[in-house]
Amino acid sequence: MVPPDSVQPGDPQRLDLRGTPCPINLIRARLALETIPSGAWLQLALDRGEAEQSVLAGLEQAGHRLQCQPHPADPAAVLVLVQPGEGPAGV
C-alpha cells in the first residue's frame, strides 16, 4: 500500500460498493479501473471486513497503488484510493 501522506489524488472518480457482495465488488472495481486514465485515481467506498480484505488483496495483487482510510460518514465502511498499476510482472 501507498503511505497516506504520499497521495495527492486531485478529484478521483468515485464508486460506492457498500452493500455489494463479494466477489462482485472486486469485479466492479476492476471494471471501473479499466476506464480510469493513466495517472488518475478511483475512490472506492467499501464495507469493512470481508469486502475490504478481499478487494484490497485483489487490487494489490493486480499491481494497483492503494491508500485506505476510514469513511468520514460511515463507521462501518472505508474509503480506498486506487491508482491503476502496470499489473504484476509477467501479466
The answer as to whether 26 is a domain residue is: yes
What is the average pLDDT score of the chain? 88
Q: Which domain holds residue 34?
A: 13-83
The answer as to whether 91 is a domain residue is: no
Give the per-residue pLDDT at 9. Answer: 52
CATH number (domain holding residue 66): 3.30.110.40
Which region, left, alpha or beta, applies to residue 49 given φ > 0 means left and ψ of -120 to 50 means alpha? left
Give the per-residue pLDDT at 30. Answer: 96
The answer as to whether 44 is a domain residue is: yes
The answer as to whether 50 is a domain residue is: yes
Please count the other Cβ atoms lying within 10 Å of the Cβ belonging to residue 36: 16
The answer as to whether 6 is a domain residue is: no
Gap between the Cα atoms of 11 and 57, Å rounded: 24
Could you read off the pLDDT of 7-40 as tens digits, one per residue? 455 689 999 999 999 999 999 999 999 999 888 9
Over residues 79-90, mean pLDDT:
79
The answer as to whether 30 is a domain residue is: yes
How many domains, the chain? 1
Could you read off the pLDDT of 54-63 as tens digits, one per residue? 999 999 999 9
Q: Give the pLDDT band of residue 89 (cuts 50, 70, 90).
A: very low
pLDDT at residue 91 above 90? no
